[in-house]
Chain A
Amino acid sequence: MSLAGLHFAAPWALAALALLPLLWLILRAAPPAPRAQSFPPFRLLLGLRTADEAKAKAPLWLIILRMAILALAVIGFARPSLAPRGTAEEASGRVLIVVDDGWTLATHWSAVRSALQAAASDLEAGRGEAHLLLTAPAAEPRSPSEALTPGGLRGRAAQLEPQAWRPDRAEATRRLEAADLGDMDQVIWLSDGLASAGDSLFIRQLQRLGPVRVRIPDAGTRAVTEAVAGAEGVRVVAVRSSQASPEAAVSAETQEGRSLGVSTLRFEGGRGEALIALPPEIAVRTARVRLIGEDSAGAVRLLPEGASRPSVGLADPGGGAQPLLNELYYVERALQPFAALQRGPLATLIENRAQALVLPDASRLAPGDAQRLKSWLDNGGVLVRFAGPRLANDADDLTPVRLRVGTRALGSALSWEQPQTIAAFSPESPFAGLVPPPDVVVRRQVLAAPGAENEASVWAALQDGSPLVTAAPRGEGLIILFHVSAGPEWSDLPLSGLYVQMLRRVIALSGRAPGGGGEAVDAGSAPYRPVRLLDGFGSLREVRAGVDSVPAASFAAAVAGPLAPPGLYERAGLADAIDAAGPAETLEALALPAELRADRLELAQPRALAGGFLSLAAFLAALDLLVSLFLSGRFLALRAASCLVLLCLVGAPQNALAQSVHTQNALTQTIPAQTAQAKTPLAQTALVQTALAQTALAQTALAQTALAQTALVQTAFVQTAFSKTAFSKTAFSKTPFSKTGRALVGDPTLTVRLAYVVTGDAAADRQSREGLTVLSDALFDRTAVEPGPPIGVNLAGDELSVFPFIYWPAPERPQSLDPEALANLDRYLRLGGMLLVDTRDAERASNAAGPAATMLRGLDAPPLERVTEAHVVARSFYLLRGFPGRHPAPELWAETQSSAAARDGVASLFVGDGDWAAAWAGESGVPSRQRELALRFGVNLVMVALTGNYKADQVHVPALLERLGREGRP
C-alpha cells in the first residue's frame, strides 16, 4: 500500500490506530498512581486536606505524548518506506525485457532483480504484459514469445539466477527471430555492457521491435583469467572492463574457503597481474583464487587439487609408531610440497588410484595386496621401495634386482670398510645433474644377489660401485628400490636435501603414466565427470541431476557454456577444471549505436523508515517513563545509573527491533539474525532484565503506558529465547555416542583375565577353558596375580589388546586364518601381547607341515629360538628346568630377543607342543608331579606376560654370584 510516496509493507498493522481514542479514554480516567508512603506519626495527619484530587488527572500534554508513542509504534510496525522512482519513463504496454544473465552481471544481480521488480510494478499499474529474453544460453532455453503477467514476471524475477557463462547474443538473436514477437511498446535491455560477437545484429533486431532502453551497471566487471601455484606463491592474471576500478584484491583460498593469502592487483589498461606470495607448501593448498568483492563465476579461478601434482600413496602398515621413528615421516616431509599425498593401507591407496606408491620396509605384503600391487604395476604404477631389516632377510619378488639375504654393514666395529659416500650420478640416470653432497654417507645397505646386477638399471651407486638406487620396469610400470632405509638408520641420505630432490625426480616419473594403476583406463573414451560446479555467483555447488559429463576429447578446449558448465571435474582419479572466464577472456565495452543512450542499471534504493519510527517511539517511551516517575515524585529516588541503563536500553535493541521487523515472516530467520547481530546475548538479556526491574519498580506508573515499550521488551525476549534454543541444540548435538562393539561378560579392562582362542573344536575349547581356570586359580593362590575367570576370544572380531595372555591350542583340523584375523593378531603381537601357540602334537612324528605352519600362515611371525633354561620364562616365578605339559619334555620356541628388541626383549610369541591346557586341566594319565610342573610353567608364562623381563636378571644370578665370589677372595 502506498500513501503519498510512503509505502507500507504491512498496512494491516495500521488498523491498530483505531485503538488511539480508547487510549485517550483510559488515560483520562486513570491518573498516575500516587506514591505509597509509610508514616509513623500518621495520627497527626488525620483530618488534614490538600489540593483538589481532580488536579491529579493526567495532564493533556502527557496524554498527547503517549498517544504519539502508540501512533509512532503502529506506523513503525506497518513498515513504511520512501520509494523514489527511477528518473526514466515507466514501462507500459507490451514490453520486452532482455537480461544478460551471464556471470558478467552476477555481481550486480540484486540491481537486476530490483529492476525487474520495478518493471513488474510499473506493468501492474499500466496493465501491461512482458516478454523475457535471457541472452545467456541454457540447456533448455525458454522462448521469449511467452507473455508474462506482472505477477508472472515478479515470480520469474525472484527465481532468476545468473548463469556461470557469458551471454551469447548471436544465439539470442536467433531465439528472438524464432519467437516472432511483433512490435513492442518498449524494449528494456538489462545489459552487462560488454562487447561480444553478434552485438550489432542483436541491437538492430531489438531496435526493430521497438524503442530500446539500455541499462548498464555502473561498476563494470572484472574476471580472473589465469592462476598458477608456483614456487614463490600464486600468480594471478585478471582482466577488467573499462568502468571497473583499477585496483582489486585477490585472495587465494582453500577448499573450505579459508583465505591463505591476499594481494593487491593493479590493472594496467584492461589487464593486471599479481603475485600472492606464499611458501610452496602453502601455495599448493590453494583450491581457488577469487577477486574480492566480485561475486561472479568469472572472478573465481579453480585450481583443482592434484591436477598439477602427482598423487602419491604412502603405504602405512598401521600401528602407532612414534612419529619421528616412523619410516614414512621423512618421505612424507620430503614429498609434501610436490605431490598430493595420501596415507593408508595398500589396498586403499591402489583403489584411490595413486600414481606412485611408497612402500617402506615395515610393510609386509599380504597375498591379496601383492596381487593387487602387481596388476597396478602392470598398468603403469610407479613403486618406490626402501630397504630395511625385513627386506634384507626376506625379500619378495617385487624388487628390481634379486637381493642377497642380509645386509652389508659399512664401517661397523667388525668391518674394515669405511662408510661410503655417493658417487656422482651418471648422465643416463634420472638423477643426472644433482650433486651428491660429500658428507652424506651410507652405513648399511642391501646388495643385489651375485649375478643379478645387470637385471636392473642402476640410477645411483656408492663410490665403490655398489648400487644405491636400482630400477626396473614391470609391465607398464616401474619398480624403484632404494637400497637403504627410508629413515636415517642406515644412511644420512634422508637427512640431506639430496633425498628430497631424488624423491622429487622419482615421483615426477609417475607423470608419464597418468592415472596409472587400477583398471586400465581408455584415455580416449572416459569422459570428465563433474564433481562440483560453479553457479553464476562463483560458489561451488553440488552437481544437479541432468548435467552431463564432458568428453575427454573436447575437454581441453572446452569453453564454459551449458554443455560444459564451469566447475571441478574428475576423470580416472585426476581432477581438472573448466573455468568460467577463459584465458583469452576480454571485457571490452559494448559499442552502442549513437541513438541509444545507456541508463544506470541500479535503481535508487527505497529508504526504510520503520527503524526511525520505532526508535522515536522507544525514545518517547523512555521520556514518558521519566516523566511518570517525576510526576509520582520518585524521580529523585532514581539513581543516575539506572537512568543511564534505561537510555542504553532505548539505544540497544533498536537495531534488533528494526531487524526483526524486516525479517517479518519467519521465526526461523530470527535465529540467524540474532546470532549474527547480537554477539553477546547475555548482555542483552541483562539489559532486558534491568529494564524489567525498572518496570516492576515503576509498575504502577507504567501500567497504562508504553505499549511500544512492552513490544520492545517482548521482542528482545523472543530473541533471547531463540538464541537459548539454538544454544541448547548445539549442546545436544554434542552428546557423545556410545561405542558399539561386542559386549564381553565382565570388563577385561578392570580384571586381568586369561584368554584362549575359540577354535571351533568343542573338545579343545573345553579343555582350554578348564586348563586356564585351573591356572587362574593357581595364580590366585600362589601369586599376587588375581585373575578373573578365563575368557574365549575370537581372533577375527574381538579387541585382543585387553588380554595380556592368549592361549591358542591347535584344533583337530587346523585351518589358516582369514585376513582380518591375521591383521588383528599381527597388531596384537606388535603391541606386545603374549600368544602361546600349542600344537599339542608332541607324540606325533613331527613333519615339515605341522599344525603351527597352517595356523600361522600369513602371520607376520618373528624369528623364533628354542627356549632354554636360561630364558626368562624359566625364572620369572619358579625356577624351572623343563616345561612339561601333558608330555614330559615338549619343545618350546619363543621369539628371539633381538627380534623383540622393540619391546625390551620380551618375547610375544611362544610356540610349543606340550598340550599344556590338558595338563593344567588335570587330564588323566598325567603324573601329579608333572602336572605341578606344568602349572608352574603356566604361572611363569603369565608372569612373563605381566612383568616382562623383570626377572631377567635372575638368569644371570649364577654369573653374578661367581663374580662376587671371585671379588670376595683376595
Chain B
Amino acid sequence: MSSPSAPAVLRLEAASLATDLPGLIVQARRLASAVPGVHGRRRAGQGEDFWQFRDYRAEDGARHVDWRRSARGERLFVREREMQAAQAVHLWVDPSPGFAWSSAPDRWPAKAARAMLLAVALGMVVSRGGERVGALGGPGFRGASAPERLAEALITAQGWGQAAIDLEPAAPPSRGVVALFSDYYAPPELWRERLRRSSDRGAYGVLIAVIDPAEEDFPFRGRVRFRETGGDAETVFGRAEEARVAYRARLADHRAALRAMAEPLGFPLLLHRTDRPPASALAALVGVLAERDA
C-alpha cells in the first residue's frame, strides 16, 4: 500500500476509469434505472413535451390555437407544454490521492471510483428529467448523450493526481445545484469557506461523503506505521487496536462539525460506505435533490 508516487498511481487510476468508460456508463445506467427520476415541474410552461389542452382564452394569440384539436369540436383549444426549467446540476468528484484509495481493492472499489459511479448515475437521472448536467466549472450537457459527456468531463477535466488534499472545487454558476463527492477529511473550516462562496452566489446542493469501511471501523491491529496517503507524514502505533476508540470518537466529532457547518449553508451531508450497495446512496441522493427542488 506504499505509494511513493501517488500522482502517477492516480493518473493510472483515472486512465483505467477512462478506459472502462462504457462499463461505467452501463453500470450507472443500471443503477439509474432503479431510481425514480427527478421529474419535470408538473405544470405548464416552456418545454418540449405535451402537457395538456386547455380552452382558448382571449389573451392567447391565434398562433397558439391547436387547430387540429379544435377542428374536432366546437371549441378552440390551446396546446400547453410542460414547463421544463433548464436548471443545471453540477457535479464534482474529489481528485485528491486520499480519495482514490481503498483499504481492500479486491473487495470494494476505491472511494473515487464509487463516487464516479454515483456521479454519472445521478447525471443520468437528472438528464432524464430534462435538466442539464455538467462537471463543476465546465459546460452543462443535455439530451441522451449527456451521461457520457459528463463522465468524460469528470474524468478529464479535473486534473487527477496533481491535486493535493485541499484542492478546491471551482465555484458553481449562480443558482445552480451542486453535488460534491469527497471524503471530507479536510478541516471543516476549509469547507466552510468553499461552501459559503457557493451559497453566496445562490447555489445550493448536497455533500456526499464516500467512506471506505476501514476508515470508519479502524480494523488495524499490532504494530502499524500509518502514512498520510499522498503525503509524507508518518506515525507508528505499537498496538493499533488500542487507538480505535479514540479514533472513532474523533471521526464522529469531525462529522458533527462538518454537518453543523454545511447544513445552514444549504448543503446537507450524505454518508456512503463503499461496502454498501450504491443504489441506496443514489436513491437518497436523488431524494434529497428532489426535495430541495420542490
Contact = CB atoms under 8 A, between A and B. Distances in A.
Given A40-B228, A50-B242, 4 more contacts: A43-B187, A51-B238, A55-B238, A632-B223
Interface in A905-929: none
Contacts of A36: 1-2, 224-225, 227
Given A34-B236, A56-B223, A56-B238, A40 B1 contact: no
Of residues A45, A55, A633, which shows the largest number of chain B Cβ atoms within 10 Å of its Cβ?
A45
Interface in A7-58: 31-32, 34-46, 48-53, 55-56
A631 interface: yes
B222 A45 contact: no
B229 A48 contact: no
Given A56-B223, A632-B222, A40 B238 contact: no
A1 to B, nearest CB: 44
A39 B228 CA distance: 6
A732 to B, nearest CB: 44
B224 A32 contact: no
A39 B217 CA distance: 13
B223 A40 contact: no
Nearest to A637: B104
Contacts of B226: 37-39, 42, 45
A289 B160 CA distance: 83
Given A32-B223, A35-B223, A37-B220, A46 B235 contact: yes
Contacts of A44: 185, 247, 250-251, 254
Contacts of A632: 222-223
How many residues of A sit at the interface, in one of the four size bands? Answer: 20 to 34
A787 B144 CA distance: 75
Contacts of A56: 223, 238
A43 to B, nearest CB: 6
Interface of A: 31-32, 34-46, 48-53, 55-56, 631-633
A35 B247 contact: no
Nearest to B231: A42
Interface of B: 1-3, 98-99, 101, 183, 185, 187, 212, 215, 220-229, 231, 233, 235-240, 242-243, 246-247, 250-251, 254
B82 to A, nearest CB: 45
A50 B239 contact: yes
Q: Which 7 A-B pairs have the closest CB atoms?
A: A40-B98, A633-B222, A34-B223, A42-B228, A50-B242, A51-B239, A38-B1
B174 to A, nearest CB: 33
A943 B253 CA distance: 106
A679 B279 CA distance: 57
Contacts, number: 103
A38 B101 contact: yes
Nearest to B240: A50
Contacts of A35: 222-225
A836 B212 CA distance: 97
B252 to A, nearest CB: 10
Contact of B99 (A34, A40, A50, A631): A40
18 contacts: A37-B220, A37-B225, A38-B226, A40-B99, A40-B185, A40-B212, A40-B228, A41-B183, A41-B251, A42-B231, A46-B233, A46-B235, A51-B239, A51-B242, A55-B239, A631-B222, A632-B222, A633-B223
B185 A41 contact: yes
B239 A38 contact: no
Contacts of B240: 50, 633
Nearest to B236: A34
Of residues A34, A41, A44, A50, which shows the largest number of chain B Cβ atoms within 10 Å of its Cβ?
A41
A40 B251 contact: no
Contacts of A40: 98-99, 101, 183, 185, 212, 215, 228-229
A791 B115 CA distance: 84
Contacts of A49: 243
A53 B250 contact: no
Given A39-B226, A55-B238, A633 B2 contact: no
Of residues A31, A36, A632, which shows the largest number of chain B Cβ atoms within 10 Å of its Cβ?
A36
B246 A37 contact: no
Of residues A48, A632, A633, which shows the largest number of chain B Cβ atoms within 10 Å of its Cβ?
A48
Contacts of B243: 45, 48-50
A48 B215 contact: no
B229 A633 contact: no
Given A42-B228, A44-B247, A45-B226, A37 B185 contact: no
